[in-house]
Amino acid sequence: MKYIENIIKNLRKKIKLYEYFYNVLNVSLVSDYEYDILLKKLLKLEKKFSEYDSDISPTKQIGNNFSEEFKLRNHILPMLSLESVYKISNFYNFYNFIKKKINNDNLKFCCELKIDGVALNVLYKDKLLVHALTRGNGYSGENVTSNISVIKNLPKKLLGKNVPKVLEVRGEVFILKSDFLNLNKNLHNNFKKSFSNTRNIVSGILRRKKKSYIFNEKLFFIVYGVGFVHPNNYFKSHYFMLNKLRSFGFNISKYNNFCKKKCNVISFFKRSLLMKNKIDFDIDGIVIKLDSINLQKKIGYTNKFPKWAIAIKFNTKNILTKILNINFKVGRTGIITPVAKLFPINFSGVIVKNVSLYNKDNIKKLKINIGSYVLVKRSGNVIPKIVKVIYNKNCKNLKKIFFPKICPCCKSNLVLNKNKKLYVCMNGVFCNSQKKKLILHFFSKNGFNVIGIGPKTIEMLINKKMINTPLDMFKLSKKKLFSIKHFKKKTFVNIFNKLKKIKNIYFYNFLYALGIPEIGISVSKNISKKFNSIEEFLCCIRNNNFNKIVNIGIVISKNIYNFFIINNNVKYVLELSKTIKIIF
Ligand code: IVH
């Protein structure tokens, strides 16, 4: 029997050593799988030979009740949120509010990065982890204790002497940006749906019902505060509390900053903004906390957030990524636009894979190459754009971007436009790419407004040589359409019926639908007010009176003039006007 006792003792020793390295030193000596096998072996032996069972066995000490369900548990103290503002100047209001409240101008702050992850509340009693709860509704959260092994640096047992008897530790669980990109790349390569942001992955992994070895050890935990502490007056300063927590075995952010002056806070914000794209985890702002815990208690709380802390959020997002390739797109009006294919990046849930480089001068000005690392900016819902190329040691094998001399679609020679910034394909509707976009534009909402005529349908009809102009769409017969193999009959019947229903159209929608450069719907409306028939409109252009009658800019009137001096265009417009009545 001594033999069994020794096996059990050795197993415990081994497991404890692995745990120490894993939980405290962040080093995995064995894989999760091997660790689990050892633990199960120990459990089995302890069950079988209960005389050797012990309360200090690792099978008892780690929240080892791997429950399948994530039951709600109460936080001892509620997990509050933070008041968020978007301008650093708001810090002065916050400062003055505290100064007035405590009648003291000698305020010290602990400034931290606001990590964009999932909040976790971990309870320790007598140094041992009791449970780990998500924030939930602030008062109770999901008990995810059974899943904490996926977090690389969450101690299950605290280190050091004089550790508070009861301690609720709060922090953020997150995943590295580089891991996120790799995971999504793998999912994409295996034709699986990728995650839209790092937070989704984290909460997905934390709430995983089945044990899995995928994505394990990808989660990190950084501590930013405490909840309930017994004894109550254990900590005096927030900044020093974080350092103390580090000595207990937690990871704290190396960017935490003790600020004795207002100007230190401002420069921390500025530094963080610059740092944001260099560090390998997502941050969405900074958190400024009054340092003295005694004063924190004096200032107090609303029922939503502490009045002694504030989050200053970054309102623009710059994300670092890499240019994988360049495509040249032919626009509706023949302008060739270079579009960079990016390593996908995530702006608060919006995945950006492509970004326009506008023109050759922009590429030159920013010194963009294929393979360059670039900062992409997106403020609110504005279209993302490249703001800067970042040089780093990975910038090898850069490939220069060469603008094509011929149209990537119809292969006709490109010409530089007047201001020599843009390359243009002059092949008009004879270029399939322009044709496709013109037809799409024609049936778009402000034009003929036919829902259901999408790029794929148009491309197919063009490829089958069934249409060349939007007018041809009205001439399509059911018989012709149904002769196409592999088509969805219902889609075509729908489109066919919709086209048949169009009997008339307002002139401004008609003019817009023609797709003349710079003629948007409001310009179109302005022009349409001056005319009573299509003949009157054409006559005015022919007599070169357009500028006198319609008060619009030279560029726009020139574009109109250039369109209508082409005989084929006039013929096309007149034929259209016979097919569909234009209302003036
Ligand atoms: S302090 C009572 N500090 O931001 C104080 N929160 O919008 C509450 N967060 O739910 C939190 N980094 O999950 C604090 N350095 C930091 C933080 C941080 C990220 C998260 C936290 C909280 C949310 C509030």
**164-201 pLDDT, tens per residue?**
999 999 999 999 988 888 887 777 676 666 676 777 78
Which residues on adjacent β-strands are paired with residue 293?
A: none
Tell me how far the alpha carbon of residue 221 lies from the centroid of ligand 1, in angstroms: 13
Give the CA angle between residues 228, 231, 235 to the nearest 5°: 75
Gap from CA of 372 to ligand 1 centroid (Å): 34
Give the residue from 415, 467, 413, 417 showing the smallest Cα distance to 438.
Answer: 467
Whether 479 is catalytic is no
Distance 435 CA to ligand 1 centre (A): 53
Q: Are 228 and 200 in contact (CB under 8 A)?
A: no
Q: Which amino acids bring their CB within 6 angstroms of ligand 1?
A: 80-82, 112, 114-115, 119, 135, 172, 224-225, 287, 306, 309, 311
Give the pLDDT score at 18.
76
Residue 564's CB: how many other CB atoms inside 10 A? 19
| Tokens, residue 337 | 């636009």
C-beta of residue 395 within 8 angstroms of C-beta of residue 364: no
Distance 114 CA to ligand 1 centre (A): 6
Give me the count of residues in the chain.
584
Is the model's pLDDT at 24 over the cut of 50?
A: no
pLDDT confidence tier of residue 308, bands split at 50, 70 and 90: very high
Spatial distance between the Cα atoms of 209 and 66, rounded to a whole number of angstroms: 10
Nearest CA to ligand 1 atom 13: 119
Q: For residue 421, what are the CA distances in angstroms to 335, 360, 363?
A: 10, 7, 11
How far apart are the CA of 266 and the centre of ligand 1, in A? 19
Ligand 1 atom 21 nearest Cα:
119
Q: What is the mean pLDDT of residues 22-35?
A: 57
User: Best of 84, 172, 202, 259 to mutate for ligand 1, by most ligand atoms within 8 A of CB?
Assistant: 172
- Top mean pLDDT of 246-260, 298-312, 403-417 is at 246-260
- CA distance readout (Å), 367 to 352, 390, 392, 558: 21, 10, 14, 35
Tens digits of per-residue pLDDT, 236-271?
Answer: 999 999 999 999 999 999 999 999 999 999 999 999
Q: How far apart are CA 324 and CA 376, in angstroms?
A: 14
Q: Which of 41, 60, 101, 114 is catalytic?
A: 114
For ligand 1, atom 8: residue with the closest CA: 81
The gap between the terminal CA atoms of the chain, to the nearest Å, is: 103
d(CA 510, CA 470): 12
